[in-house]
Amino acid sequence: MPSSAILGEARTNYVTLCHNDTQLYQKGYEDNYKPIIKILSSIISPSDSTSTSSSLPAGAHVLDVGCGQGTPVGSFFVEKGLDVTGIDMMGSFIEEAKTELEKRRQNPNQKLLLIHTEMLEFEPPPGETYDLILAVHLFYHTPVAEIKAMLLRFVHWLKPGGLFFIASSLPEEFQDRKLWAEDVQLYFLGHFYTHVTVGSPEAWRKVVTEAGLDILQFKADIIKRNFDGELGGGNDTQVCLLARKPEAAEEDSALFNPLHGPFPLVPREHVGPEVDHAGCKTLYAHMDINRILDDVAVALKERSANSVGYIGLDLFNIDKENKWSDNITAFDLNSESNLPSDPTALLFFWALHRRHLLTHFDELSKKLGKHLSQVKTVITVQAAPDSEGFHLLNDAMHGLPFHPYHHGYVLHFMEKRFKEMGFVKVKYVTSEAVFRFGEKEGVTDLEEKIQIAVTLLAGTMKQPDAQDEEGLKNINAFKKNLEGLTRALFSHSNGVVRNQAVLLIADKEA
């Protein structure tokens, strides 16, 4: 069941209005769906031809995110005989979609699954991937940081060569925006809505490309709203974009592992800004890591790890009895006095997201060298490239002389180094931590939560000296950007920021 704290009042009210005025909505926006269906028709291969790189294979599986009542998009693919999974945050929409799409099912073996869930809560069944993911008029009440996080998740869920289609409208009152209009007010179906996000055609082209997808079709059409009187007419620019996930990639290219996210292999000194270790410690004290602790515990139990060396931030309270192996030692790499004598597993817990990663890890390897012969498993816990928290920080760095964080680089580097050390069986497990800003302080006022978040997030970056005028100017500009972005995100999440994570588990051959 979706969490109202996560969704926010604006998004809930928006979909409720669409449900109450379904016929009005469909009539007002029926012209929007004509170019959508035209593009989607182009990816259906005739039964007597073979599929191409821009068409769906026979028996394709389609994921419709924000499927609504199932028409006209989901129903289009059901009528073509394809398997369809639809998700929507409105339970009433899902029930209506079940009835509507069941009538259009072409054969009893055709898969049709409708799930009541919010997109941030959805995870495909283990091993499930999709030939096509749809996001049709989906993101109007989604902050930009969340949009970027979701697009990377979509890429991960796509099969190699799979297709992604998005449609979104930019109302005429925001036509002057070069990229995003975030946390704005919009008049829709006779009501004013706040906390709205809309993007220009260039914004959507850019964000999809940055997610590592190749654009196949791109259209930006002016479409008139079919409303009368006080409901408002006017024109929208509707963007329709069809993109493809690369079929295969070289080891060092953007998508050789989709969990890494797209990235150029940046110089090691540019993994991220210089960080303030005390600031990181203070920030992470506000993070709920229970799911990660559970996921690590499962991995250790599966490997019968009876002696575990723990390397990471000392703020994490290791609950040995409930979460971890009974024989775990957290140690300081500056001293070898407390290293376990015969560790069978090593756990790096948010320990490797520093600048100068290569130097840091080489020093670490030397100190652990004599202990590695007994180690059978190494587990690294890092933030995922689709982390909302890091998208928030990176977006605040835009236009400033900071090098953004990219944990895809850390994961890529660690996999290669672990394999060189003999840990050749590599597995990735997705997990998640959550920041709940203001909860620890007992704060309920949204503005106070924003200020707490900005102070803690900005505090992770090394602060310039008082004499460094240029540095102070840049850090103040960063804080100003961060405050605006945080306000937009918190209008939906009420102080919650997701910090999606990845467990990289590397085992030696048995």
Is residue 388 included in any domain, yes or no? yes
Nearest to 225 by CA among 18, 17, 21, 32: 32
Within 10 angstroms of residue 51's Cβ, the number of other Cβ atoms is 16
The whole-number average pLDDT for the span 97-102 is 94
Which of 120-124, 223-227, 268-272 holds the top average pLDDT? 120-124
Same domain flag for 320 and 190: no
The whole-number average pLDDT for the span 72-76 is 94
Angstrom distance (rounded) from CA 426 to CA 379: 10
Same domain flag for 209 and 298: no
Contact residues for 343 (Cβ-Cβ < 8 A; gap 6+) = 307, 308, 309, 329, 371, 374, 375
Q: What is the pTM (predicted TM-score) of this model?
A: 0.72
Q: Quick one: pLDDT at residue 189? A: 65
Q: Quick one: pLDDT at residue 135? A: 97
Paired tokens of 410: 């850390």
Which of 3-17, 119-133, 327-341, 410-424 holds the top average pLDDT? 119-133
Q: What is the DSSP string of 337-384?
A: TT--SS-SEEEEES---SSSHHHHHHHHHHHHGGGGGG--EEEEEEE-
Q: Quick one: pLDDT at residue 25? A: 60
Is residue 254 included in any domain, yes or no? no
State which of 217, 248, 279 marks the end of a domain: 248
Same domain flag for 111 and 161: yes
Q: Strand, helix or coil at 101?
A: helix
Q: Quick one: pLDDT at residue 42? A: 93
Residue 288 has pLDDT above 80, yes or no: yes
Helix (H) or strand (E) holding 321: none
Within 10 angstroms of residue 278's Cβ, the number of other Cβ atoms is 10
- Is the sign of the CA dihedral 193, 210, 266, 360 positive or negative? positive
Is residue 158 included in any domain, yes or no? yes
Residue 323 has pLDDT above 80, yes or no: no
Same domain flag for 235 and 272: no
Same domain flag for 437 and 400: yes
Q: What is the CA radius of gyration of the chain?
A: 24
Q: Which amino acid is at 454?
A: V
Same domain flag for 244 and 283: no
The whole-number average pLDDT for the span 80-87 is 96
Q: Which amino acid is at 394?
A: N
Same domain flag for 362 and 416: yes
Contact residues for 453 (Cβ-Cβ < 8 A; gap 6+) = 435, 437, 438, 486, 490, 495, 497
Contact 283, 491 (CB under 8 A): no
The whole-number average pLDDT for the span 121-128 is 89
Contact 323, 301 (CB under 8 A): no
Same domain flag for 232 and 366: no
Q: Quick one: pLDDT at residue 154? A: 92
Within 10 angstroms of residue 231's Cβ, the number of other Cβ atoms is 16
Cα separation of the two ends of the chain: 42
Q: Quick one: pLDDT at residue 3? A: 35
Q: Quick one: pLDDT at residue 179? A: 86
State which of 196, 215, 248 marks the end of a domain: 248
Residue range of the domain that includes 436:
268-507
Same domain flag for 43 and 182: yes
The whole-number average pLDDT for the span 265-287 is 68
Least confident range from 9-23, 332-346, 446-460: namely: 9-23
Is residue 348 included in any domain, yes or no? yes
Same domain flag for 288 and 237: no
Contact 300, 318 (CB under 8 A): no
Contact 137, 165 (CB under 8 A): no
pLDDT in tens, 458-490: 998 888 888 999 989 999 999 999 999 999 888
Is residue 329 included in any domain, yes or no? yes
Residue 110 has pLDDT above 90, yes or no: yes
Provide the percentage of residues in the chain whose pLDDT is more than 70: 75
Within 10 angstroms of residue 357's Cβ, the number of other Cβ atoms is 19
> Which CA distances in Å does 251 have to 417, 424, 483?
14, 15, 38
Backbone angles phi and psi of 258, in degrees to 5: -65, -25
Is residue 463 included in any domain, yes or no? yes
142 or 187, higher pLDDT: 142
Is residue 177 included in any domain, yes or no? yes
Q: Quick one: pLDDT at residue 315? A: 43
Angstrom distance (rounded) from CA 97 to CA 364: 55
Same domain flag for 332 and 443: yes
CATH at 158 = 3.40.50.150
Is residue 359 included in any domain, yes or no? yes
Contact 208, 164 (CB under 8 A): yes
Q: Quick one: pLDDT at residue 63? A: 98
Q: Quick one: pLDDT at residue 228? A: 54
Same domain flag for 286 and 147: no
How many domains is the chain built from? 2
Counting Cβ atoms within 10 Å, is residue 122 exposed (0-12), middle (13-18) or buried (19+)?
Answer: middle
CATH at 407 = 3.40.50
Residue 267 has pLDDT above 60, yes or no: no
